[in-house]
Structures are given as structure tokens and as C-alpha cells.
Structure 1
Amino acid sequence: MATDSAVVEGFGRVSRTAGTVFRYLLLAATLFGLVALTVLLVFVFNDAVQPFTADPGWHLTYFLTLVVPSLAVGGYLFARNRAALRTGLTTIGLLVVSLMFAGGVGMIFVDIVSPIVWFAYVLALAIPTAVVYGVRRAGLDLPFVARVGGAVLLYYLSLFGLPGPVGSLAGVPSVVPGVAGLVQSIPVLPVDWMLLTVAFVLPAAALVGRSARGRAGGRAGLVAGGAALAAAVVAAVAGPFVGVTSVPALVLVVVVGFPTATYVSGVARGPERAGLLVPGVLVGGALAGAVAVEALGFAGPASWVDWQFLTSAHSSTAENAGLYPAIGGSILLMITVAVLSFPLGVGAAVYLEEYAPDNRLTRLIDVNISNLAGVPSVVYGLLGLGVFIRYLGSPTGTVLVGGATLALLILPIVIISSREAIRSVPNDVRQASYGMGATRWQTVKNVVLPRAFPGILTGTILALGRAIGETAPLIMIGAPDVLFSLPTDLSSKVSAMPLQVFAWASLYAGPDFWQKAVPAGVVVLVSALLAMNSVAIALRNKYQQDN
């Protein structure tokens, strides 16, 4: 008969009962936290969407057209083929998340960055990239300093011209404009959707073709890439006839259609293709329900999260208040944060893991990075206020200052997650690379970073998820509580979704804002966080399957 406890050398008396109690206490604490969070989100969702304000017939219609068929198909797949069910749910998640990202990308091209500006800078980056690639393919034996210096000079001249920003700081006027400036000065240009087709759709179609080529060969890749490009052009031409302008139609096809079609085409040939019944039933049931309630005249829920809320600016009344400028501000801040924090964080992680010696200084740096990851966000706001505004004299509350401050906030997190990803690469592959005569840099570039990149990207996305929900740093740098227009460049004033919700809950405090605008803003913000986290989870799962 087994005893309840035993004496283990080095551990003293070990009790199975104590271990069992501890395990169930941890389980209870976890369940309590999950239940409390779920209850809170349900209350917020109920205030924002108000599902019980709909007619009973509306609920019954969607129950019959959407809920019952979905439960039937889901139950059947759960009993017969759970892998197919996971595939179907993944397809639905991909569709929902890509729709959310399509809204953000469409906002950028419609109201923030004009297609001609995008085309000009894409071309300015493509020309030096082609030159650098051609020099590399030609096999020219150039010193490392010459290669790096030449590449930096080519990119600088193409983007800014001569003397560029360096000359403007010294008061020297521009002598030779860059490629970006030359393109934007052309008096006659194609229409916006044609420019986006070249600078946005064509690279995305090339990625689709590359994915298809990896699965089915070169001819399939050409067909898939050509079909993707043709679908985008058809959408741009036909969009205005169905009430969608050309630019949003292009964005919708590229951001939603391309990844969904690529995933579905890969699944359709495998044993999990039965899972495609799930998105078919969900989408078909939703469309059938919408047609039925429209024909029968049933009123839906009086939701505050509607098209007007997502596309309107702030108002003094909760009924007319919107989140549009704050959504655009959050998107620009996240782009700025990613551009600033990703190369710095990954570079620091590579140096600390692959190059730095194990001495007292590096150990001190390790401790400080770990401590900085736990510093309250308001401290980083004070740092941004002191460094960027007081010392450097930058204007308060701009996109650049806000992005730089939030980049400082998540930089320790990016460094730590990147170091963990690099550390997870087996040391055997490094030794094999060295054994084949590769240098340390070649080993890092061709062996370590490709294997660690999924983990690095996952950690960066999770860090961006933290940054998008921060309010204190933006308050400290003087970001405005509300804006009535979208920021258009790095020097524009910027607000963000959490800052807007904070303003509604404090400066405009009242029953209407507490019960209408604030819950609706929280639902939109949480949805954005979940979308970003779902991308990180998908990358992590794919990385685990590949290894």
C-alpha cells in the first residue's frame, strides 16, 4: 500500500497530499481569474453591443440559420475528425483577423498615406535593393566596409537625394532630389488603384505565387500569382459598380482574399478539407440570416459598435462619438514603434547572445534589461518627456515622440524574447556551420536568425500588444485626449484608442459615455489586442510544428 509521504535525500519529507492540495489550489486560482475576467468582458460586451435589444424574431432567425447548422457541423467533426474541425476554426479566425487588418490598411491608404507617396517610397527602396542584389549575384569581391557603406549611400540617395536631411541640418539646400521626390513631382500620374497595383498588389501576388510554387511546383506558382493579380485588378475595376471604391476593394482582396485563398487551397488537397464546411456554414448561415431578418422586418440589436462609431470623430455627445482618429493614431504609433524597436531589440539580442563575452559588464547589462522590463509605463513616459521633449526640443504629443516613447517601453521585452528565441537554436547547428568554414556573421545570418525568427516575431507582436494598450506614457508626453482628424505624418499630433477611452471615462464623464461610448471603445481595443495576439499564437504554433 502506497504511503502518503516519504523521505527523499536532499528534499526532506515529501508529501503527496501536500502536492495534490497545491495543484488544486493553483487550478482554483486559475479558474477564478478566468471566470472573473470573463464576467467582466461579458458585462462590457453587453453594454457595447446590447444583444437583448433585438426583436425575439431576430434571435430566432439567426438561431435557426446560423447557430443550429454550425453546432451540427461542429459536433459531427468533433466526433469524427477533430483535426478538420481545428482547420475550419483556423479558417474562420484567419478570415476575421484579416478583415480587421484590412480595415487598418484601408484607412492608411485612404486617409493617411496617399498611393502616390507609397508608390514613390516603394520605388525608392526597390531601386537600391535591385542594385545591391545585382552586385551580390555578380560575385564582386568587395570589402565588407565598402559593401555596407555603398548600400547605405545608395538607399540614402534614393530616398532623400543630395545632400538630404544631413544637408538641411547644416543649412545646405537640396541639389539632387531623391527618387521618392522625383516621382511625387511628376505632373501626370496614373490613377490611385493602378499605383497601388504596382507597389502593393504585385509584391503580395508574388508571395502568393511563391507559396504555391513551394507546394505544387513552378507552373502552379505562376498560375496562382497571375490569378491573384487578376483578381485584384478585377476587384478594383468592378468595385465602384457595387458601392466600393477601387482602393478599398484592392485592399480587401489583398489582405483578406490572398491569405485566405492560399490557406484554403492548401487545405483543400489534404485529409482535413472537411473542416472547410465550418466556414461555409458560418458564412452561409450569416448571409441567410441577414436576408431573412431584412425580409421579415426584424430589428437587430441597438449596438454602439457600428459603422458610425468606427468611422466618426469625437463628439460631445455619446450618441455621435466615434473612434476613427484614435484608431488611425494607434496604427501609426504601432508602425513607428515596430520600426524603432524591432531592429534595435533584435540587434542587441544578437550581440548579447552571439558576440558579447561572459564578464561582469554583460551580466550587469542582463540584470538591468530584466529590471527595465518590469518598470512601470509611467516612468517611460517621464523618460520620453525628459529626453525627446525637454532635451531634444521635439513638439509634444506627436507620432514620432509617442512612437519613440512606446518603443523604449517595449524594447527590454523585445530584447528578452529575442534572446530566448536565439538561445533556443541548438548549438550543434552553429558548430556544423563553423565546421563548414563559415564565419560567425555568416553563421548568425544564415543559420541562427532564420531558425530564431518565428520566436523573435512572436515576442515582438506580443510586446506591440502591450504598447497598443498603454495610456500613461502618452499622457506624460502631452498627447491630446481627443482628435478630430487623422494624423498624416510623423510630426502630427496623435491620440490613441486607450487615451480616447480614458478621456471619455474622465473628462467627459457621465452616464451616457460610461454606458455607451466607453464600453464600445473597450470592445474595439480588446478586439485589436486579440487580433494581434492571435497572429503571435499562429506563428508560435507553426514554428512548433515545423520543428
Structure 2
Amino acid sequence: MATRENVIEDFGHVSRTVGTVFRYLLLAATLFGIVALAVLLVYVANDAIQPLTADPGWHLTFFLTLVVPTLVVGGYLLRADAASFRFGASVVGLLAVSTMFAGGAAMIFVDIVSPVVWFSYVLALAIALAGVVVIERFDRRLPFLARFAGAGGVIVGSLLLVPGLVQALPVYPTDGIMLTLSLGAPVALVVGRYAAAEAGRRGTLLAILAGVVAVGTGEVLGPLLAVGAVPATVLLSVAVVPTGGYAVGAVRRNPGLRPGLAFAATILGGALVGAAAVEALGFAGPQSWLDWGFLTSAHSGTAADAGLYPAIGGSILLMVTVAALSFPLGVGAAVYLEEYAPDNRFTRFIDVNISNLAGVPSVVYGLLGLGVFVTYLGQPTGTVLIGGATLALLILPIVIISAREALRSVPNEMRQASYGMGATRWQTIKNVVLPRAFPGILTGTILALGRAIGETAPLIMIGAPNVLFSLPTALSSKVSAMPLQVYAWASLFASEPFYQAAVPAGVVVLLIVLLSMNSVAIVLRNKYQNNQ
């Protein structure tokens, strides 16, 4: 008996020792990876931004106006009220990320889709939706086929007739007003309902009206700030109004978070005061390659004049096409496999192949796109549609797998409760399963899009040009992307100025976009987990 107890004690001691060693080995490996990645990012960012080229007074000014106040206020809140600290940081982060996305949206409305075209199609969709709602009010008076035919006729007729009629008008409102009505008003509707927490119908209407008026000021502020009415309206619609609505709504729901607004104001105010101070004192900032000219200029044979603007626009159009193709197909396949498909050899064979396809190298998908879309279907090479379809094939297995995992996370008891109330399978999926799983589905899709935006091999295989000097304006236009542009600078235009200037600046822009997309996915995942 004593021998057995000694063996058990020795076994437990050895197991604990091995577990401790294994844990510290994992910690060391993680720290090594983080440090190595941080060193690489610092090295690339230093080449792109060159912070040491600024005047010492520039650094001192921002240190006193931004760094010191942020550390003082943030340190105090972190110890006294961590929730307020996180809220203030989230407000600043939301404003930064949404501003970046607003820049991409403004690029679309300035150079790709005119505001009048966007306004005409939004108006057509609104009329179609109103018609469908009116038809649904007669659900007990009309048979199903009549309602279906009427709804389909309203939708098709509206989309076919309204855009042409609106665009043929001799006179229509200014671009800023059309964007305010077609983009700012829907955003203000959503944001106003969130901001006016428990304020009643009148308070909600006032909040929505305040959001629309705030967006409408872009028509005046844009020319005053020398950025134009369209970019200013888009910036207010996508960044400023949503951030303000989030801050107001969160404080109304939890007044204890108000100190977090002081932390956000300290960061934003410190940055503005520092910028005004260095401008007034005449301190020169960093001689950064990553500046406004780099973001708004096309490619050039010299590194000093090279820009990333057409590649940024191409990446945006590719991601819109990829999302439009991969999201409905991936989610639809996931819903069928999880909720409808029987458990047999065929479905298990499909499961195994989907998992295997998620690990196939991206160049293979490029060959697939070349063979199917270009060679077999005879489509032109390197267009927005072909590039988006190829990248959609690349991330489709990832979208399916992540969507299936999100659907599996929905407790089966919720399905049974819905069935017990008399709901059909489709009603259960639509009203119970999908709303519960949607945050997880959206998180997986965003992460998959983050992989697609950084891929180069598939675009090279389908013949996408490395360099373009203008933005694509249609799905059939040639398209480039940020990874392709950086690859061209590092290979076709290989020289010391490009290696030390354009390539690091392009890499930093691409990393900022990737980190922003991943941050949105992380926020959605954390919010979803906290609501479980």
C-alpha cells in the first residue's frame, strides 16, 4: 500500500514538473514571437515615418500636450475606474478606425460611384421596401402567389426604372445633400435610436434629427476645411456621428462611464492642441514618406513621387466584391450543412474536404481562378470581378467553417423551445439561430477578409496588373491592390529609394488596414462573448 502511494505521489510530482516546464516554454516562445514581430514592425515603421527627423521642439510639444496628460488621466482612471478607462479608449479607437473606413468610402464616392448614382439606387431600394411593406399589410386578403408576384414586381420595377429617372433629371440637389439623405439619414436613424436610450419617441426623433443635421453640416464645413463637401459628409456619416452616438448612448445607459469621456477628450484635445502649437511655433515634423501625398497619389517611377491611391481603391473594390460573393454562399452552405443536411457518408466527405480546402495554398486558388474564369469562361484577365471571385474562392472554406462553428454555439435547447412553440424549421433558423450566431459569423467573415486583402499570389495568377495609374470604375476594369503595388516596388522598381521609402510606407498602410479589420473582429467577438 505504501509503495502504491509513493508511486502516485511520484507521478503527481513528475506531472506537475513537466506541466510547469511546458507552461514556461510556451510563455518563452510567445514572448519571443511578440518581441520579434515588434522589432520588425518598429524597423519598418521607422523607415516609413522617420520620427527622428522631426525637430526636438516638435517632440517636446506633443510630449507635453498629448503624452503627459494621457498618461496622467489614463493612469488615474485605470486605478480608480477601469471600466471608464476602457470606455474612453474604445471611443478613441472607434473614431480612429471609423475615420480610416470613412476615407475609403470617400474615395469611392469621389472617383468611382457618383453621389447621384448612389442616391438613385438608395431611393429605388427605399421605394421597393415601402412597396413590399404595403403589400404585406394585405397578407390576409391576398393569396401567397399574388403577394409574391406583387412584391417581386415592385422590387424589379423600382430598381429598373427609378435610377434611370432620377439620373435623367435636369436638376437635382448637390452631392452633399444627396449623400446626407442617402447615407447620413440611415446612419442617423440607427445611431439616434441607440443614443436616445429610454428617451421615448420624441427623444428618439430629436436624436435622429440631430444626427441628420450634423451630417448635413458637411456641405458647409467641407469647403471651409478645403476637403470638399463629399469627403466631409462621408466622414461625418461614417466616423463622427456613429462615434458620438455610441458615446452618448453608452453614457445614458451607464452614467458611471462619464469619466471615460474625459479620457477621450484628453487624447483628442491633446492631439489638436499639439498640432496647433507646433504650427504656431514653426517646429518641423517628421519627414515621413507616409503622408497625405503618398495616400492620394498614383504610382511614379521615382520613390519621392510614388503613391498608393489606385491600389487602395482597388483593394476596397476587391473586398466589396469578395464580401458580396463569399458571405451569402458561405453562410448559406453553413446553414444547410448544420441545420438541414443529414449525417451520412456524403456530408462527412464534404466536411473533410471543406477543412482541407481551408489549408490549400493561395497560389492554387489563383490557378483555379485562371483556369475556370479566364480560360474556361473566357473572361478578361485582371478585372475586379475575376479578382474578387478568385479571392472569394480562397476564403469561402474559412467563412463556411467559422459560420458553422457559430451555428454550433447556439444551444440546442433554444431550437427545441422554438419547435415547442409551433415554429417551423425555417422560422427557427431565421428568428432564433441566425440572430444568435450572427456576431460569430460576422467575426469569422471579417477575419477571412483580412486574409484576402493581403494576398498577392492569386492576383498575379489571374493577370492583375502590378501598377495602375487610375482607379477602376467598373467590375470589368483592370484592378491592382496594395500587396501587388508593394510587390512591384520591391521587384520591378528595385532600388534603394524604393526599398527605404515606398516599400515600408506601403507595408505600414497595409498593416494598419489589416489591424483595423482584425480589431473590429475582436471587438465583435468580445461583445458576443460578454452577452452569452
Structure 2-normalised TM-score?
0.95
Change (3 A) 1:6 1:110: farther
2 CA distance for matches of 1:214 and 1:431? 33
CA contact (8 A) 1:5 1:15 kept: no
User: What is the correspondence of 1:153-232 to structure 2 with a 5 Å cutoff?
Assistant: 154-159=154-159, 161=160, 178-232=161-215
Q: CA offsets per residue over residues 456-498 of structure 1, 9 Å max, x none?
A: 1111111100010000000001000011001111111100001
CA contact (8 A) 2:195 2:246 kept: no
**Residue from 214, 236, 251 that aligns with 1:253:** 236
Change (3 A) 1:140 1:482: farther
Change (3 A) 1:13 1:297: closer
1 CA distance for matches of 2:457 and 2:150? 42
Instruction: Give, in angstroms, the shift of residue 421 of structure 1.
Output: 0.6
1 CA distance for matches of 2:149 and 2:8? 67
Farther off after superposition, 41-50 or 233-242: 233-242
The aligned counterpart of 1:172 is none
Instruction: Give, in angstroms, the shift of residue 388 of structure 1.
Output: 0.7
Identity of aligned residues (%): 70
Instruction: Give, in angstroms, the shift of residue 267 of structure 1.
Output: 3.4
Any stretches of 5+ residues in structure 1 without a counterpart? 162-177
1:138 match: secondary structure: coil
1:224 partner letter: A
2:256 match: secondary structure: coil
Change (3 A) 1:111 1:223: same
CA contact (8 A) 1:94 1:260 kept: yes
Change (3 A) 1:143 1:340: farther
Q: Kindly indicate whether residue 271 of structure 2 is the aligned counterpart of residue 294 of structure 1.
A: no
Q: Kindly indicate whether residue 300 of structure 2 is the aligned counterpart of residue 323 of structure 1.
A: no
Farther off after superposition, 279-288 or 141-150: 141-150
Farther off after superposition, 494-503 or 139-148: 139-148
Farther off after superposition, 138-147 or 353-362: 138-147
1:244 partner letter: V
2:91 partner letter: T
The aligned counterpart of 1:497 is 482
2 CA distance for matches of 1:26 and 1:273? 40
Instruction: Give, in angstroms, the shift of residue 203 of structure 1.
Output: 1.0
2:369 partner letter: G
1 CA distance for matches of 2:266 and 2:5? 53
Q: Kindly indicate whether residue 250 of structure 2 is the aligned counterpart of residue 267 of structure 1.
A: yes
Q: Kindly indicate whether residue 281 of structure 2 is the aligned counterpart of residue 303 of structure 1.
A: no
Instruction: Give, in angstroms, the shift of residue 116 of structure 1.
Output: 1.1
The aligned counterpart of 1:116 is 116
CA contact (8 A) 2:191 2:246 kept: no
User: What is the correspondence of 1:7-18 to structure 2 with a 5 Å cutoff?
Assistant: 7=8, 15-18=15-18
Change (3 A) 1:437 1:286: same
Q: Kindly indicate whether residue 525 of structure 2 is the aligned counterpart of residue 540 of structure 1.
A: yes
1:537 match: secondary structure: helix
Instruction: Give, in angstroms, the shift of residue 135 of structure 1.
Output: 2.3
Q: Kindly indicate whether residue 29 of structure 2 is the aligned counterpart of residue 29 of structure 1.
A: yes
Instruction: Give, in angstroms, the shift of residue 237 of structure 1.
Output: 2.8
CA contact (8 A) 1:4 1:16 kept: no
Change (3 A) 1:12 1:18: closer
The aligned counterpart of 1:510 is 495
2:170 match: secondary structure: coil
CA contact (8 A) 2:219 2:230 kept: yes
Change (3 A) 1:340 1:12: same
Instruction: Give, in angstroms, the shift of residue 428 of structure 1.
Output: 0.7
Q: CA offsets per residue over residues 156-202 of structure 1, 9 Å max, x none?
A: 4433x4xxxxxxxxxxxxxxxx3222322223222212221221111
2 CA distance for matches of 1:14 and 1:396? 62
Q: Kindly indicate whether residue 389 of structure 2 is the aligned counterpart of residue 401 of structure 1.
A: no
2 CA distance for matches of 1:6 and 1:24? 26
2:505 partner letter: A
Instruction: Give, in angstroms, the shift of residue 75 of structure 1.
Output: 1.1
Instruction: Give, in angstroms, the shift of residue 7 of structure 1.
Output: 4.7
Q: CA offsets per residue over residues 385-435 of structure 1, 9 Å max, x none?
A: 011111111111000000000000000001000011111011111001100
Q: CA offsets per residue over residues 83-104 of structure 1, 9 Å max, x none?
A: 1111111111011101101101
Instruction: Give, in angstroms, the shift of residue 148 of structure 1.
Output: 5.7
**Residue from 465, 473, 486 that aligns with 2:458:** 473
Farther off after superposition, 238-247 or 503-512: 238-247
2 CA distance for matches of 1:403 and 1:37? 30
The aligned counterpart of 2:374 is 389
The aligned counterpart of 1:168 is none
Instruction: Give, in angstroms, the shift of residue 268 of structure 1.
Output: 3.1
Cα RMSD after superposing both structures: 2.0
Instruction: Give, in angstroms, the shift of residue 215 of structure 1.
Output: 4.1
Any stretches of 5+ residues in structure 2 without a counterpart? none
CA contact (8 A) 2:194 2:246 kept: no
1 CA distance for matches of 2:6 and 2:141? 71
2 CA distance for matches of 1:337 and 1:146? 35
CA contact (8 A) 2:78 2:85 kept: yes
Farther off after superposition, 374-383 or 208-217: 208-217
Change (3 A) 1:340 1:484: same
The aligned counterpart of 1:235 is 218
Instruction: Give, in angstroms, the shift of residue 323 of structure 1.
Output: 0.2
Change (3 A) 1:373 1:148: farther
Tell me the matched-pair count: 526
2:170 partner letter: P
2 CA distance for matches of 1:137 and 1:214? 29
1 CA distance for matches of 2:250 and 2:6? 52
2 CA distance for matches of 1:17 and 1:452? 41
Q: Kindly indicate whether residue 331 of structure 2 is the aligned counterpart of residue 346 of structure 1.
A: yes
The aligned counterpart of 1:170 is none
Change (3 A) 1:62 1:237: closer
2 CA distance for matches of 1:246 and 1:34? 43
CA contact (8 A) 2:135 2:150 kept: no
Instruction: Give, in angstroms, the shift of residue 213 of structure 1.
Output: 4.5
Farther off after superposition, 276-285 or 311-320: 276-285
2 CA distance for matches of 1:497 and 1:39? 23
Instruction: Give, in angstroms, the shift of residue 142 of structure 1.
Output: 6.6
Q: CA offsets per residue over residues 421-460 of structure 1, 9 Å max, x none?
A: 1110111110011001000000000010011111111111
CA contact (8 A) 1:7 1:14 kept: no
1:480 match: secondary structure: coil
2:304 match: secondary structure: coil
The aligned counterpart of 1:451 is 436
The aligned counterpart of 1:521 is 506
Change (3 A) 1:214 1:68: closer
The aligned counterpart of 2:267 is 282
Structure 1-normalised TM-score?
0.92
CA contact (8 A) 1:487 1:493 kept: yes
1 CA distance for matches of 2:403 and 2:304? 45
1 CA distance for matches of 2:90 and 2:405? 27
Change (3 A) 1:6 1:230: farther
2 CA distance for matches of 1:196 and 1:230? 12
